[in-house]
Structure 1
Amino acid sequence: MKLLFVADPLVSFKTYKDSTFAMMREAAKRGHRILACEPQQLVWLRGGRVTARGAVEIALTGDATDWFTVTATADVALADVDAVLMRKDPPFDPEFFYTTHLLSQAQREGARVLNNPSALREHPEKLAILEFPQFISPTLVTRSAAEIRAFHAEHRDIILKPLDGMGGMGIFRVKDDGLNLGAIIETLNKDGAQTVMVQRFIPAIAEGDKRILIIGGKPVPHCLARIPQGGEVRGNLAAGGKGVARPLTARDREIAEYLGPILAARGLLLVGLDVIGENVTEINVTSPTCFQEITDQTGFDVAQMYIDALEESLA
């Protein structure tokens, strides 16, 4: 098969932990051809098809630093490859949104795109949890400072975060004393111009913010618990959290087995649930990670499970 990865620049990959690289490596091992482009290379012209201008075909070298060589460069219509894998990292900004529309046009022309671009648009990673209130902690979504203050008065210990953040950016905790709540609200909601998510603080964050991967509707049997370090409230690896692989708990499996088939039916081949304690805090669909950390610590080959599911979906 010929697989086109729409991703960040290849030279920026940290191959020792990059999940897209793990996918490429497993696909290449099976003899699939690997092509890559960045979102800005996608072009549509009336009378033509959505095309990746100057897409590169690569061979993997096995070297940790110079990990690929370019074997060919060409303009490639997305409908002419077997699958287009959308692996651009967040944030889900306007350009990401526009890219999903180009990918939807490519679908209309016959391309197979995973994750499904319309599903990417319909599942913003923080707001997607609202569909499943039975699995989430007390949560508020609002622009209103008064609503946030009322939520704090009720729950006393809260987390506030922007809807477009990633890697733990912009997350604040406000305890019972309400210290700096006003300043934090002003920072995040920009005088009512931006929507904020507020959640009751979950003490189980001390045990880790668990990333549970769902592939083809089925959970990977191990999660990666990202444990806050050094007094941090954030477990994100990008914020210095320590990643520890663990078997899924009964609650983890209950959540994943309920959500998995629903999300897979919407064209989401790969999903990353963030779970703290017994509560889902995010549903990640843009470019879920943690493949290599789980594989390295448990021996369970996540990339192998992913490429198996990809091949099955294309059969």
Structure 2
Amino acid sequence: MKLLFVADPLEAFKTYKDTTFAMMREAAARGHQILACEPAQLVWERDGRVSAVCRDITLTGGLDPWFEERGRVRLALAELDAVVMRKDPPFDSEYFYATHLLQQAERDGARVFNKPSALRDHPEKLAIMEFPQFIGPTLVTRDEQAIKRFHAEHQDIILKPLDGMGGMGIFRVGPDGLNLGSITETLNKQGTQTVMVQRYLPEIVKGDKRILVIGGKPAPFSLARIPQGSEIRGNLAAGGKGVAQPLSARDREIAESIGAVLAPRGLLLIGLDVIGDSLTEINVTSPTCFQEITQQTGFDVPRMFVDALEAAVSRA
């Protein structure tokens, strides 16, 4: 197959942990042709199909350099067997426009994973609200008074922006309410931006579990990202320590239930964040942790993904 990965610049990949690299390596090992581009290389001209200036690469088998470029070619996305959208957040206006170009490519006949419309329809923070049976007390609002009432009820809360990533902009406010007003003003921009507020989950000390759901089925291990020192955030980008562990019965219940709903919508790969028994986020843009789970458990997550990708292409 010819596989195009729409991603960040290849030169910026941290191959020792990068999930997109792990996908490419597994696909290349099976003999698939690997191409790559950035969203900036997507092109749509009048009366034409959406195309991209693609880098045709081979993997060296090493880490520095990890690829060699054989050349660049402009291809219509519909000419490829699959397009894998792996651009990292933020989900800004350019990401939004990229999903529209990819959706037009689908109309041309391209097969895109994850489905562009599904990327838009499932904001990673808000998507959890569809599954109230799996989440803790949660409020989404711009209203400062509503946030104060939520704090008065739950005492210990977490506030975060809807467009944050890697743990950015997450605040905890305890029973004393110290700095709640200032934090609210910072996040809601004087009432102009929406904020998510959740009851603090003390189980975070045991880790924020990343559960991968591929083709609607959960990988058997999660990566518990455990906060270090005085941090409340377990995100690896915020210094959390990743420890792989088998799924609990509750983890599996959450993953199988959500996978059964979201996979048919075109979300081949999702990453669920679970603290204790509560779902806190649904990642759909570029879920990670493939390499950490594989290295610590021996379970081959990239193989599971490429199996699912090949099956999805064969069905399309």
Following superposition, the deviation at residue 47 of structure 1 comes to 1.0
Alpha-carbon RMSD across the aligned residues, in angstroms, is: 0.5
Does 2:69 align with 1:61? Answer: no
Partner of 2:3 in structure 1? 3
Counterparts of 1:65 and 1:195, CA distance in 2 = 43
Correspondence 1:313 to 2:312: yes
Counterpart position of 1:107: 106
* TM-score when normalising by structure 2: 0.99
Name the aligned partner's letter for residue 89 of structure 2. Answer: P
Deviation track 1:167-210 (CA, whole Å, cap 9, x = no partner) reads 00000000000001111001000100000000000000000000
2:157 maps to 1:170: no
CA deviation map 1:4-39 (0-9, x unaligned)? 000000000000000000000000000000000000
Name the counterpart of 2:139.
140
Corresponding residue pairs, total: 314
Amino acid across the alignment from 1:165: G
Say which SS state the counterpart of residue 265 (structure 2) adopts: coil
Equivalence for 2:300? 301
Which residue in the other structure is 2:264 paired with? Answer: 265
Deviations 1:23-73 (A, max 9, x none): 0000000000000000011010111111102x1010000121200000121
Runs of 4 or more, structure 1, over 2 Å off, are none
Measure, in 1, the Cα distance between the counterparts of 2:207 and 2:109.
Answer: 42
SS across alignment from 1:79? helix
Q: Which amino acid aligns with 1:266?
A: R
Aligned runs of 1:1-315 on 2, under 5 Å?
A: 1-53=1-53, 55-315=54-314
Distance in 2 (alpha carbons) for counterparts of 1:148 and 1:291:
36
Q: Aligned AA for 1:37?
A: C
Q: Look up the equivalent residue of 1:147 and give its one-letter code.
A: A
Deviations 1:234-257 (A, max 9, x none): 000000000000000000001011
Give the whole-Å Cα distance in 1 for the aligned partners of 2:312 and 2:214: 11
SS in 1 for 2:168: coil
Q: Which moved more, 1:55-64 or 1:3-12?
A: 55-64
Identity %: 73
Post-superposition Cα deviations, 1:49-98, rounded to whole Å, max 9, x if no partner, equal 11102x10100001212000001211111000000000000111111111
* Long gaps (5+) in structure 1: none
Q: Distance in 2 between matches of 1:90 and 1:155?
A: 31
Alpha-carbon shift at residue 139 of structure 1 (Å): 0.2
- Structure 2, gaps ≥5 residues long: none
Q: TM-score, normalised by structure 1?
A: 0.99
CA distance in 2, matches of 1:158, 1:180: 12
1:261, 1:64 → 2: CA distance?
Answer: 37
Mapped to 2, the partners of 1:27 and 1:200 lie a distance apart of 41
Distance 1:65 1:185 in 2: 45
